[in-house]
């Protein structure tokens, strides 16, 4: 029979196996310590990871908040930029860009017909020049305020330039409503505006075009309103004009003629014709006036009243003046040298005086033609003398210093301020034909011519009466002591060869003409 013997536990209370070798105990201790270290490291890593996670979470929240704030700031900045881009900062009205975008939107929608008004302030430059830009800005803000109070409810108003405005109005498709709107604008802007004790007055020129009755595209609508506005300005300003298709035809005609005129000056199609000026005491031709004539290859003879304004509008007037001066000086120099006339008169445009180098052109003409300076007379209209700026007067003085004489054309139809007679070295005044044509039946015209001749004598000036067409007119002009005459009674404007023949015939028949 077997017996079970009790064996003592080999591991004591400290956990060390009794009777084990010392190296085994050390090894077990190291394993236990390493396990503890790993556990502590793991716990520490978990704490660090948790802390970093919390930090990253907070950082992410902060970043999201900052992104949201920045996005909001950018949206506000964008809205402000858009507002600035579409708003006139001086008046608070919409600007040109906003006008275009608004027109595109409403034309693409179903808002129905509307009218576009182009509005220019008349005489605004005078306010800026005389009172300064601060006064001009004040006036523009007041004009904007009046627009807001005058135009129909729901209208769109924009400032599109310095003194240019535009308005879009709905429900004004009939002429009566449109006329009423324009009349209200004209009336509102005609009221004076005050700035620091100064009274400022402007008026409004308006051009209107209807959508879609007049135009089905925004570009055409804008162009047609501009054309109508231009017609208002041509007809005296301070009013309104509705677009008519004939305006487009006239514009195309003008554009075509401007191109043809430029080529005509290059090809010699423009030529000077001459109208004699007669000494009323002797009947002798004392001079000739050069007048531009354009023989168009397809249109025939184009009147100066047609092509001269085109030259002024399309920056061709300097070239036209220069061309006429060179051609006429070369032809007239022969007549002066032969003793047929004393001088040549050439018209000079105000724009050429103000902006062109007309003194150099005159020097060139005198040099190339050999015409003596005293035999050249430059005719300038009275209105230009009245409105001459500070730069023009010294130029005219230098012209007179060269020995070239200056004639005041259309005298009597300008402003009543005659102070320019003391400022400018004149030799001659030409009495406007409007006084001559009814001198036989109008006592006032006779009195005006009498006053002009007396005034001219007091200033030591020569006088020329324009537009003499009848013997009776000539008799009255002579009795009023006018020095020279010009008109169809003596001769019509004619080409150079015909003029030379006329001058030769008059030298053979020098008595006063016609005999009365």
- At 401, the pLDDT band (50, 70, 90 cuts) reads very high
| More confident position, 427 or 14 | 427
Which residues in 230-261 are b (16+ Cβ under 10 Å) and which e? bbbeeeeebbbbbbeeebeeeeeebeebbebb
Instruction: Determine the 3-state secondary structure of 333 from DSSP.
Output: helix
At residue 129, the pLDDT reads 83
Long-range contacts of 82-87 (CB under 8 A, 24+ apart): none
165 contacts 150 by C-beta, under 8 angstroms: no
279 contacts 296 by C-beta, under 8 angstroms: no
Distance CA(256)–CA(157), nearest Å, equals: 35
CATH class label, 253-508: alpha beta
pLDDT (mean) for 381-406? 78
294 contacts 301 by C-beta, under 8 angstroms: yes
Strands (E), 220-269: 239-242
DSSP bridge pairs for 11: 17
Kindly report the number of other CB atoms within 10 A of residue 135's CB atom.
18
Closest C-alpha among 413, 404, 406 to residue 466 = 413
DSSP bridge pairs for 169: 115
358 contacts 348 by C-beta, under 8 angstroms: yes
Closest C-alpha among 102, 211, 206, 207 to residue 154 = 102
Q: What are phi and psi of 229, to 5 degrees?
A: -65, -40
- At 387, the pLDDT band (50, 70, 90 cuts) reads low
Q: In what helix (H) or strand (E) does residue 35 lie, and over which residues does it extend?
A: helix 22-85
Q: What DSSP string runs through 403-417?
A: T-EEEEEEETSS-S-
Instruction: Determine the 3-state secondary structure of 498 from DSSP.
Output: helix
Closest C-alpha among 296, 193, 279, 313 to residue 485 = 279
- At 516, the pLDDT band (50, 70, 90 cuts) reads very low
User: In the predicted model, is pLDDT for residue 95 greater than 70?
Assistant: yes
User: In the predicted model, is pLDDT for residue 422 greater than 60?
Assistant: yes
Same fold, 96-243 and 253-508: no
User: In the predicted model, is pLDDT for residue 416 greater than 50?
Assistant: no
344 contacts 288 by C-beta, under 8 angstroms: yes
pLDDT (mean) for 226-237? 92
pTM: 0.68
Strands (E), 99-202: 114-122, 156-159, 164-170, 193-195, 198-200
Q: What are phi and psi of 244, to 5 degrees?
A: -130, 145
pLDDT (mean) for 91-104? 92
User: In the predicted model, is pLDDT for residue 118 greater than 50?
Assistant: yes
Structure-block tokens of residue 394: 């010294």
Instruction: Determine the 3-state secondary structure of 439 from DSSP.
Output: coil
At residue 333, the pLDDT reads 97
Residues in the chain: 516
At residue 68, the pLDDT reads 82
Q: Could you report the per-residue pLDDT of 139-196, keeping only the tens digit for each?
A: 999 999 999 999 998 899 999 999 999 999 987 666 778 889 999 999 999 999 999 9
- At 83, the pLDDT band (50, 70, 90 cuts) reads low
Helix, strand and coil content of the chain, in percent to the nearest 5, comes to 55, 20, 30
| More confident position, 165 or 385 | 165
Structure-block tokens of residue 502: 């006329």
Arithmetic mean of pLDDT over the chain: 86
The CATH code belonging to domain 96-243 is 3.30.70.270
User: In the predicted model, is pLDDT for residue 312 greater than 60?
Assistant: yes
Q: In what helix (H) or strand (E) does residue 371 lie, and over which residues does it extend?
A: none
pLDDT (mean) for 295-320? 89
Quick one: what percent of the chain has pLDDT higher than 90?
53
Q: Could you report the per-residue pLDDT of 327-381, keeping only the tens digit for each?
A: 999 999 999 999 999 999 999 888 888 776 889 999 999 999 999 999 999 998 8
- Cα 287 off chain centre by: 39
502 contacts 495 by C-beta, under 8 angstroms: no
Q: Could you report the per-residue pLDDT of 426-472, keeping only the tens digit for each?
A: 899 999 888 999 899 899 999 999 999 999 999 899 999 999 999 99
At residue 484, the pLDDT reads 96
Structure-block tokens of residue 231: 């017609």
Q: Angle, nearest 10°, between helix axes 496-508 and 317-337?
A: 30
pLDDT (mean) for 32-57? 83
Q: What are phi and psi of 193, to 5 degrees?
A: -125, 140
Closest C-alpha among 314, 320, 276, 280 to residue 490 = 276
Per-domain residue ranges for the chain?
Answer: 96-243, 253-508
Distance CA(107)–CA(104), nearest Å, equals: 5
Distance CA(242)–CA(225), nearest Å, equals: 8
At residue 388, the pLDDT reads 56
| More confident position, 417 or 423 | 423
Distance CA(124)–CA(204), nearest Å, equals: 10
The CA–CA distances, whole Å, from 289 to 96, 324, 347, 440, 462 equal 48, 11, 8, 25, 16
Closest C-alpha among 99, 117, 93 to residue 229 = 117
240 contacts 122 by C-beta, under 8 angstroms: no
User: In the predicted model, is pLDDT for residue 301 greater than 60?
Assistant: yes
At residue 227, the pLDDT reads 94
| More confident position, 331 or 313 | 331
- At 515, the pLDDT band (50, 70, 90 cuts) reads very low
Distance CA(37)–CA(42), nearest Å, equals: 8
At residue 389, the pLDDT reads 58
Q: What are phi and psi of 388, to 5 degrees?
A: -60, 135
- At 423, the pLDDT band (50, 70, 90 cuts) reads confident
At residue 230, the pLDDT reads 92
- At 410, the pLDDT band (50, 70, 90 cuts) reads confident
């Amino acid at each position: 029979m077997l017996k079970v013997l009790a064996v003592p536990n080999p591991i004591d209370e400290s956990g060390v196996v009794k009777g084990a070798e010392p190296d085994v105990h050390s090894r077990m201790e190291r394993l236990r310590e390493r396990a503890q270290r790993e556990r502590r490291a793991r716990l520490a890593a978990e704490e660090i990871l948790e802390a970093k996670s919390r930090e990253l979470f907070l950082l992410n929240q902060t970043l999201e908040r900052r992104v949201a704030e920045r996005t909001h700031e950018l949206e506000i900045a964008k809205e402000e930029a858009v507002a600035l881009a579409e708003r006139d900062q001086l008046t608070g009205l919409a600007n040109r860009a906003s006008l275009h975008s608004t027109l595109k939107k409403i034309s693409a929608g179903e808002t129905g017909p509307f009218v576009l008004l182009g509005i220019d302030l008349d005489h605004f430059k005078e306010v800026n020049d005389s009172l300064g830009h601060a006064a001009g800005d004040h006036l523009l803000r007041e004009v904007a305020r009046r627009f807001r109070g005058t135009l129909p409810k729901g209208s769109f108003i924009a400032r599109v330039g310095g003194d240019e405005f535009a308005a879009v109005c709905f429900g004004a498709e009939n002429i009566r409503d449109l006329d009423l709107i324009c009349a209200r604008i004209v009336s509102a802007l005609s009221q004076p505006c005050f700035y620091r004790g100064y009274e400022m007055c402007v008026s409004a020129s308006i051009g209107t075009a209807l959508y879609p009755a007049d135009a089905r595209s925004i570009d055409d609508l804008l162009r047609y309103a501009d054309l109508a506005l231009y017609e208002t300005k041509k007809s005296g300003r301070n009013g309104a004009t509705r677009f008519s298709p004939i305006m487009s035809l006239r514009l195309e005609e003008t554009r075509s003629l401007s191109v043809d005129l430029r080529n005509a000056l290059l090809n010699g199609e423009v030529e000077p014709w001459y109208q004699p000026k007669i000494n009323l005491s002797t009947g002798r031709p004392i001079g000739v006036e050069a007048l531009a004539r354009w023989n168009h290859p397809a249109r025939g003879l184009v009147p100066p009243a047609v092509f001269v304004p085109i030259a002024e509008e399309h920056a061709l007037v300097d070239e036209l003046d220069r061309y006429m001066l060179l051609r006429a000086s070369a032809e007239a120099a022969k007549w002066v040298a032969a003793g047929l006339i004393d001088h040549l008169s050439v018209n000079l445009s105000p724009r050429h005086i103000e902006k062109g180098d007309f003194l150099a052109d005159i020097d060139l003409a005198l040099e190339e033609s050999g015409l003596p300076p005293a035999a050249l007379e430059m005719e300038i209209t009275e209105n230009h003398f009245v409105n001459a700026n500070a730069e023009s007067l010294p130029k005219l003085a230098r012209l007179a210093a060269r020995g070239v004489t200056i004639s005041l054309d259309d005298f009597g139809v300008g402003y009543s301020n005659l102070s320019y007679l003391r400022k400018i070295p004149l030799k001659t005044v030409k009495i406007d034909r409007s006084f001559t044509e009814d001198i036989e039946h109008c006592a006032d015209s006779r009195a005006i011519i009498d006053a002009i001749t007396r005034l001219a004598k007091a200033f030591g000036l020569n006088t020329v009466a324009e537009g003499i067409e009848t013997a009776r007119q000539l008799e009255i002009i002579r009795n009023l002591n006018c020095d020279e005459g010009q008109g169809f009674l003596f001769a019509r404007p004619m080409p150079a060869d015909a003029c030379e023949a006329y001058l030769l015939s008059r030298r053979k028949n020098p008595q006063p003409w016609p005999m009365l």
